[in-house]
Structure 1
Amino acid sequence: MSETRTTTARLADLEPTCTPAEALALYDDLPAVRPDEITGRYRGRELGTGHPMDGLLEQSGWYGKQFDDVDHVHPLLFRTPGGEIFPVEPRKIPLGMVDKVPQAVVSRSRSAVGALKPALRTSKHRARLRAVEHRGVVTAAMVYDHLPIIDVFRRVDDDTLLGVMDLRGAPPYFFVLARD
């Protein structure tokens, strides 16, 4: 079995939920990826580990991320109930409050994404890609322009990344990105 099939199978074994230790073990075993290798639009999904954010992004209409080039990244794409995908201004998403918002409220907000689109949408790129050292490996990371968050990526296969959100004072939040 090839290394790619092995890592893909290992990820599939962990989905949809696993322990933080299992997610970190897979993440640490995955190879680095260079920032210029991950251009394109990616559909995201959460890897549940018991993090306070588990389930909230997907329930709110999160679609994924778009890497146009290393200096031009849309860090948050959302989808309206009608299927339109659009970039969101990250500063308008209350990430510091996500663990305080009841999931029922988040679920209802998904239907409001279309109506909220004019207030949330941005045409400006709000992040960039850089190579950073994380957990002893230099790999691609997405650095937000205005938030103290760095999303760090490892390669699962040619079209799939395992990401971990690095936010000071918070446990790791894991997500998967699959290239459209």
Structure 2
Amino acid sequence: MSSAVGVLALFDSLEPVAPEELVGRWRGAELPTGSRLDGLLTLHGWWGKEVLDPETVHPLLFPGRDGVPRPVTPWPVPLAVLLHAPGLARTLPARLGVAAVLPLLRARRPGARVRTVAHRGVATAAIVYDALPIIDAFRRVDAATLLGLMDLRGLEEPFAFVLSRAPRSSGAAAAR
């Protein structure tokens, strides 16, 4: 397991990202930090993110029944449960429930925008969710890899993830 201190030190050592660098489809993977949210996205099948342009962002992609990544509306996420009882989201009934409702939550419009924000003292590109108190800030690992930190109101410990640029053939474009 990665340590929060180590992940934050790595994040702080990396170069900032320009907003236009986020355009594209990104495959996501959680980077454990000891956060109470570690493993939840993976457990429920999170695929990644897609940025069509700075105003058109699908912050959550999950595979459809056909395996093609599809945008999911982030607003139904029960943040209070995730913050105060994350173990509930790990139970079999919760996993079955999420699997059952995901097809119904397909996004019909974007759920976030890209903005430059000051995060940990550095101006960098971030995905700002429209309906949730979440900002995902990024630093560049290399031309095809980003390290992200989720800033969620009420979550003091860092939640980290890695985005790898997906090949253009990784499924049909979201919401098209």
TM-score bracket, shorter-length normalisation? 0.7 to 0.9
Partners in 2 of 1:80 and 1:118 — Cα distance?
7
Partners in 2 of 1:165 and 1:106 — Cα distance?
26
SS in structure 1 at match of 2:20? helix
CA contact (8 A) 2:40 2:89 kept: no
1:68 maps to which of 52, 61, 73: 52
Residues 22, 81 of structure 1: alpha-carbon distance in 2 compared, 3 angstrom cutoff:
farther
Q: Does 1:95 align with 2:79?
A: yes
Which position in structure 1 is the counterpart of 2:124? 139
Q: Does 1:105 align with 2:92?
A: yes
Q: Deviations over 1:93-125 (max 9, x none)?
A: 223312141523278438x63x42442111200
Which position in structure 1 is the counterpart of 2:146? 161
Specify every segment of 5 or more residues in structure 2 that has no aligned partner in the other structure, as ranges.
Answer: 167-176
Which position in structure 2 is the counterpart of 1:30? 14
Partners in 1 of 2:14 and 2:88 — Cα distance?
33
Q: Which moved more, 1:68-77 or 1:91-100?
A: 91-100
**Identity rate, percent:** 49
**Root-mean-square deviation (Å):** 1.8
Specify every segment of 5 or more residues in structure 1 that has no aligned partner in the other structure, as ranges.
Answer: 1-16
Partners in 1 of 2:89 and 2:53 — Cα distance?
36
Which position in structure 2 is the counterpart of 1:53? 37
Q: Which moved more, 1:158-167 or 1:97-106?
A: 97-106
CA contact (8 A) 2:89 2:95 kept: no
After the TM superposition, which residues 70-89 of structure 1 pair with which residues of structure 2 at under 5 Å, given as runs?
A: 70-80=54-64, 82-89=66-73
Say which structure is richer in helix: 1
SS in structure 1 at match of 2:125? strand
Residues 95, 169 of structure 1: alpha-carbon distance in 2 compared, 3 angstrom cutoff:
closer
Provide the aligned length of Structure 1 versus Structure 2: 162
Which position in structure 1 is the counterpart of 2:169? none
